[in-house]
Amino acid sequence: MSEGDLSWPLRRAVGLHADSVAVVDQGRAVTYAELSERVTALGRGLDELSVEAGGRVGYLGVNSLAHLECWLGVPAAGRTLVDLNFRLTEAELAFIVDDCELEVLVVDSAGLEIGRSLRLACPTLRELVRDTSGACPADCVPYEQLVADRPGDSPPALNPADLAAISYTGGTTGKPKGVMLSHANLLANARHNLIATGHRPSDRWLHVCPMFHVAGTANVFACTWAGGRHVVLPRFDAHDVLRAIDREAITHTVLVPTMLAMLLEQLEAEPDRSLRSLRHIQYAASPISPELQRRVLERFDCEIVQFYGMTEAAPTVTCCTAEDHRRGFAQDPVRARRLRSIGAPVVGVEAEVRGPAGQAMPAGEVGEIWVRGPNVMLGYWKRPDATREAIVDGWYRSGDVAYADEDGYLYLVDRLKDMIITGGENVYSIEVESALAEHEAVREAAVFGVPDPRWGEAVHAVVMVNEDRAVTEGELIAHCRGRIGGYKVPRTIDLRTEPLPKSGAGKVLKSRLREPFWAAAAQKP
Amino acid sequence: MSEGDLSWPLRRAVGLHADSVAVVDQGRAVTYAELSERVTALGRGLDELSVEAGGRVGYLGVNSLAHLECWLGVPAAGRTLVDLNFRLTEAELAFIVDDCELEVLVVDSAGLEIGRSLRLACPTLRELVRDTSGACPADCVPYEQLVADRPGDSPPALNPADLAAISYTGGTTGKPKGVMLSHANLLANARHNLIATGHRPSDRWLHVCPMFHVAGTANVFACTWAGGRHVVLPRFDAHDVLRAIDREAITHTVLVPTMLAMLLEQLEAEPDRSLRSLRHIQYAASPISPELQRRVLERFDCEIVQFYGMTEAAPTVTCCTAEDHRRGFAQDPVRARRLRSIGAPVVGVEAEVRGPAGQAMPAGEVGEIWVRGPNVMLGYWKRPDATREAIVDGWYRSGDVAYADEDGYLYLVDRLKDMIITGGENVYSIEVESALAEHEAVREAAVFGVPDPRWGEAVHAVVMVNEDRAVTEGELIAHCRGRIGGYKVPRTIDLRTEPLPKSGAGKVLKSRLREPFWAAAAQKP
Nearest CA in chain B to A378: B1
Asked if residue A122 lies in contact with residue A90, where contact means CB atoms within 8 angstroms, the answer is: no
A378 with B1: Cβ contact below 8 A: yes
CB contact under 8 A, B12 and A376: no
Question: Mean pLDDT of all residues in chain A?
Answer: 93
Nearest residue to B228 via CA among B28, B35, B3, B4: B35
Which one, of B404, B425, B400, lies nearest residue B414 by Cα? B400
Residues in chain A: 525
User: Which CATH code fits A419-523?
Assistant: 3.30.300.30
**CA-CA distance, B221 to B8, in Å (whole number)?**
9
Least confident of A189-193, A225-229, B214-218, B239-243: B214-218
ipTM, two decimals, is: 0.87
CB pairs under 8 A between A and B: 91
Give me the phi and psi of B186, to 5 degrees please.
-70, -35
- Pick from B347, B354, B378 the residue to mutate for testing the A interface (most A CBs within 10 Å): B347
Q: Residue B305: what pLDDT?
A: 96
Q: Which residues of A touch B345 (CB under 8 A)?
A: 12, 15-16
Q: What is the pLDDT of residue B424?
A: 85
Continuous H helices in A232-376? 238-248, 257-269, 290-299, 333-338
SS3 A163: strand
- Report the Cα B280 to chain-centroid distance in Å: 19
At B17-52, the pLDDT tens digits run 999 999 999 989 999 999 999 999 999 999 999 999
Asked if B11 and A350 come within 8 Å (Cβ–Cβ), the reply is yes
User: Largest Cα–Cα distance of chain B, in whole Å?
Assistant: 72
In the predicted structure, residue B171 carries a pLDDT above the cut 90: no
The reported pLDDT for the residue numbered B172 is 65
Residue A174 confidence (pLDDT) above 80 = no
Q: List the one residue out of A159, A394, A181, A349 whose CA is nearest residue B191.
A: A349
Q: How many angstroms separate the CA of residue A394 from the nearest CA in chain B?
A: 6
Fold matches, B8-320 and B419-523: no
Interfacial residues of B (vs A; Cβ cutoff 8 Å): 1-4, 8, 11-12, 15-18, 182, 184-185, 188, 191, 194-195, 198, 200, 225-226, 323, 344-345, 347-348, 350, 372-374, 376-378, 394, 407-408
CB contact under 8 A, B376 and A2: yes
For range A385-401, the mean pLDDT: 95
Does residue B267 carry a pLDDT above 70? yes
Q: At what angle do helices A65-73 and A32-48 cross, to 10 degrees?
A: 70
pLDDT in tens, B347-359: 999 999 999 899 9
Can you give the pLDDT at residue A426?
87
CA dihedral B448→B451→B456→B460, nearest 10 degrees, is -30
- Percent of all residues in chain A with a pLDDT value above 90, rounded to a whole number: 76
* Amino acid identity for residue B326 in this structure: R
- Out of A380-394, B126-140, B407-421, B424-438, the most confident range is A380-394
Q: Is B476 in contact with B508 (CB distance < 8 Å)?
A: no
CA distance B273 to B485: 34
The span from the CA of A177 to the CA of B306, in Å, is 47
Tell me the per-residue pLDDT of A19-68, one tens digit each, with 9 for 90 and over.
Answer: 999 999 998 999 999 999 999 999 999 999 999 999 999 999 999 999 99
Q: How many DSSP H helices and E strands does chain A contain?
A: 16, 27
Cα Rg of chain B (Å, integer): 23
**Contacts with A201 from chain B: Cβ below 8 Å:** 323
Collect contacts of A237-245 with beta carbons under 8 A, ≥24 apart: A238/A262, A238/A263, A238/A265, A238/A266, A239/A266, A239/A270, A241/A206, A241/A208, A241/A266, A242/A266, A242/A267, A242/A270, A242/A273, A242/A275, A243/A273, A244/A206, A244/A208, A245/A206, A245/A273, A245/A274, A245/A275, A245/A277, A245/A278
d(C-alpha A386, C-alpha A392), whole Å:
11
Q: Which residues of B touch A1 (CB under 8 A)?
A: 182, 184-185, 374, 376-378, 394
- How would DSSP label each residue in B229-282? EEEE-SS--HHHHHHHHHHTT--EEEE-HHHHHHHHHHHHH-TT---TT--EEE
User: Which residue of chain A comes nearest to B181, CA vs CA?
Assistant: A1
The reported pLDDT for the residue numbered A210 is 93
B378 chain-A contacts, CB cut-off 8 A: 1
Q: Residue B225: how many CA atoms within 13 Å on its side-chain side? A: 32
pLDDT tens per residue across span A74-111: 999 999 999 999 999 999 999 999 999 999 999 999 99
Q: What are the residues of chain A with a beta carbon less than 8 Å away from any beta carbon of chain B? A: 1-4, 8, 11-12, 15-18, 182, 184-185, 188, 191, 194-195, 198, 200-201, 225-226, 323, 344-345, 347-348, 350, 372-374, 376-378, 394, 407-408
B-chain residues within 8 Å CB-CB of A394?
1-2
Q: Is B361 exposed, middle or buried (0-12, 13-18, 19+ CB in 10 A)?
A: middle
Interval A269-292: pLDDT, tens: 999 999 999 999 999 988 888 889
Query: What average pLDDT does this structure show over B317-327?
Result: 90
Residue A320: list chain B partners with CB under 8 A.
Answer: none
Residues of A within 8 A of B408 (CB-CB) are 15-16
B347/A16 CB distance under 8 A: no
Give, as one character, the DSSP assignment of residue A494.
Answer: E
Q: What is the DSSP letter of B331?
A: G
What percent of chain B shows pLDDT beyond 70?
A: 98
- Percent over 70 (pLDDT), chain A: 98
Instruction: Sort out which chain A residues have CB atoms less than 8 A from B196's CB and list them.
Output: none
Which of B15, B378, B407 is closest, CB to CB, to A1? B378
* Disruptive mutation site among B1, B219, B406 for chain A (greatest number of A CBs within 10 Å): B1
Q: How far is CA B222 from CA A390, B189, B258, B524, in A?
A: 31, 8, 24, 40
Q: What are phi and psi of B353, to 5 degrees?
A: -90, 120
Which residues of B fall within a CB distance of 8 Å from A376? 1-2
Which sequence spans correspond to the domains of chain B? 8-320, 419-523
Q: What pLDDT was estimated at residue A269?
A: 95
Radius of gyration of chain A (CA): 23
Q: How far apart are CA B195 and CA B203, in angstroms?
A: 15
Whether pLDDT at B213 is above 50: yes
Decide if pLDDT at A476 tops 70. Answer: yes
Q: How confident is the model at residue B522 (pLDDT cuts 50, 70, 90)?
A: low
Q: What is the CATH number of domain B8-320?
A: 3.40.50.12780
Question: Chain B closest CA to A197's CA: distance in Å?
Answer: 9
Task: Give kind and range of the element (H or E) at residue A145.
Answer: helix A143-146
Nearest in space to A236 (alpha carbons), one of A216, A267, A209, A260: A209
Please give the helix or strand (H or E) that residue B30 lies within, else none: strand B28-31
Average pLDDT over residues A424-446: 89
Distance from CA of A351 to the nearest CA of B (A): 10
Classify the phi-psi angles of A4: left when phi > 0, otherwise alpha if psi is within -120 to 50, otherwise beta. left
Q: How many CA atoms lie within 13 A of B234 on its CB side?
A: 11
Strands B456-465 and B492-496: parallel
Q: Is the pLDDT of residue A523 over 70?
A: no
The band of B525, judged by pLDDT with boundaries at 50, 70 and 90, is: very low
pLDDT tens for B330-379 read: 678 888 888 999 999 999 999 999 998 999 999 999 999 999 999 999 99
Q: Helices in A403-451 by DSSP H: which ranges? A: 429-437
The pLDDT of residue A525 is above 60:
no
CA distance A82 to A57: 6
**A466 secondary structure, DSSP code:** P
Tell me whether residues B345 and A185 touch, CB distance under 8 A. Answer: no
What is the Cα–Cα distance from A224 to B306, expressed in whole angstroms?
Answer: 23
Query: Are A379 and A180 in contact, with CB atoms under 8 Å apart?
Result: yes
Residues B350, A225: C-beta atoms closer than 8 Å? no
CB B82 within 8 A of CB B55: no
**Min Cα separation B401/chain A (Å):** 19
Q: What is the dihedral of CA B276, B282, B288, B293, to 10 degrees?
A: 30
Say how far residue A366 (Cα) sits from the centre of its chain.
26
